[in-house]
Structure 1
Amino acid sequence: MIPDLPADIDTIKGFLASDEAEALYRHARASRPKGPVLEVGSYCGKSTIYLGLACRDGGTVYALDHHRGSEEHQAGEMFHDPELYDTGEGLVDTFSEFRRNIRRAGLDDVVVPVVSSSAVVARHWQTPLGMVFIDGGHSLDAALTDYRCWTAHLVQGGILAIHDLFPDPHSGGQAPWAIYRMALESGLFEAVERVNTLGVLRRL
């Protein structure tokens, strides 16, 4: 049971299964003493809430997202949501929904929104991280950028979690699986567990 979980958590837009959410909460809570949590790809904040609750009494979550949607969220694509489309700008905009959900969960003092891309934010990043959760763009270029930008900032014993792992290409995109395999083959990480499509590794 996760304390203070919002009653409407299942209505928040997102693509996170309940067993994956519980695993994120558990690992964020355990990693919190090692350093802040950094989430890459917050969308409307569903996963951010689980991470934020895990850090509520002594940690910080940096929620990094440009809030313009991934490739699959754009107009005409499979996961496009018209409710998250700013017709005036002609762009996806998830930031208002994200902020609203974080505020309703009472996590404004725990979650720090970072509205930009990995490449821009990582350029001068210096804070060691206790956990990194990668759930951003699912093109190979985007996934590789997220992996290369943030894994170097994980402390020894820190957790790397990667969402949407599909070993079978018929089941889903292969970019997250590619960086998961890259992490294992680097010799810098060991596998901790797999929960549904979430892979969890530890920095050696």
Structure 2
Amino acid sequence: MSAAPKPEILAAFEAAKGFMPAAEGLALYAAAVEAGGLGLPLLEVGTYCGRSTILLADAAREAGTVAVTVDHHRGSEEQQPGWDYHDPELVDPDAGRMDTLPAFRRTLHAAGLEDHVIAVVGRSPQVAKVWGRPVGLVFVDGGHTDEHAVNDYEGWAPHVAEGGLLAIHDVFPDPVDEWTGQAPYRIYLRALASGAFTEVAATGSLRVLRRTGGRV
């Protein structure tokens, strides 16, 4: 997993709103490039404003496939008013609620990647129930409660093709280091315990696991 994005893609990633550090972004990009070799879609759960979507979309473009990103665009728990990760610029003044969709579209437009992304606006469990094909990569970066993380894992991990990759963000084994809860860490442990996945890379809080067969 040594592939690196072009300078203009990395610049677009760094300019976009979001929380993923550059080192973790580079690791995600390398995983996406590898998974793109399967010729299957690359799927992301948790879009926010499209920072990580840029990397998946560019990897998909290079592989001749497509990136799919799933989000209701109303913000996760830690992005609501009163929380440290709330951005008042992302509040829809008419609805009085978070709406990250316009910022996401601007992000893709600025990066020149609109034609390589399918944006699904909806809640992850509902979309997963109607999804009907395998994917080369699932990147889980949605809500950080146990309910949401478990729903994302149970809904999407079974769709990872054999040889494909499951990437999980914000995995903090030490409670001292976590910032939104250890739900991602718990689904990471569950994936390993299932016997269906083997860890292949770890960068910061990003874990990448390969589907090696068996039931999730």
**Stretch moving more, 162-171 or 139-148:** 162-171
Is residue 2:200 matched to residue 1:192? Answer: yes
Is 1:14–2:22 an aligned residue pair?
A: no
Listed one character per residue, the Cα deviations across residues 132-165 of structure 1 (whole Å, up to 9, x for unaligned) are 0000000000000000000111110110000001
1:96-107 correspondence runs (5 A): 96-107=102-113
Q: Equivalents in 2 of 1:199, 1:86: separation in Å? A: 33
Please report how far the alpha carbon of residue 8 of structure 1 lies from its aligned counterpart in structure 2 after TM superposition.
4.4
Corresponding residue for 1:30?
A: 34
* Amino acid in the other structure paired with 2:177: S
Fraction of identical pairs, as percent: 48
Structure 1 residue runs of 4+, over 4 Å off?
none
| Paired position in structure 1 for 2:123 | 117
Which residue pairs with 1:82 in the alignment? 88
The answer to whether the 8 A contact 1:20-1:198 is kept is yes
For residues 14-163 of structure 1, the aligned pairs below 5 Å read: 14-34=18-38, 35-57=40-62, 58-163=64-169
Equivalents in 2 of 1:8, 1:179: separation in Å? 30
Residues 190 and 202, structure 1, Cα contact 8 Å, conserved in 2: yes
Matched residues in 1 for 2:154 and 2:188: separation? 12
Q: TM-score, normalised by structure 1?
A: 0.97
Are 1:180 and 2:188 matched, yes or no? yes
Give 1:104 shift: 1.2
Q: CA deviation at 1:193?
A: 1.1
CA deviations 1:84-112 (Å, max 9, x no partner) are 01122011000000011111111111111
Comparing both structures, which one devotes a greater share of its residues to helix? 2
Q: Please, what TM-score do these two structures have when normalized by structure 2? A: 0.91
Aligned alpha-carbon RMSD (Å): 1.1
C-alpha deviation, 1:9, in angstroms: 3.1
Asked if 1 retains the 8 angstrom alpha-carbon contact of 2:48 and 2:100, the reply is yes
Post-superposition Cα deviations, 1:157-178, rounded to whole Å, max 9, x if no partner, equal: 1100000011111211200000
Q: Give distance in 1, aligned partners of 2:89 and 2:161.
A: 39
Helix, strand or coil for the counterpart of 1:179?
helix
Looking at structure 2, the residues matched to 8 and 60 of structure 1 have their Cα atoms a distance apart, in angstroms, of 18
2-structure distance, mates of 1:135, 1:197: 11
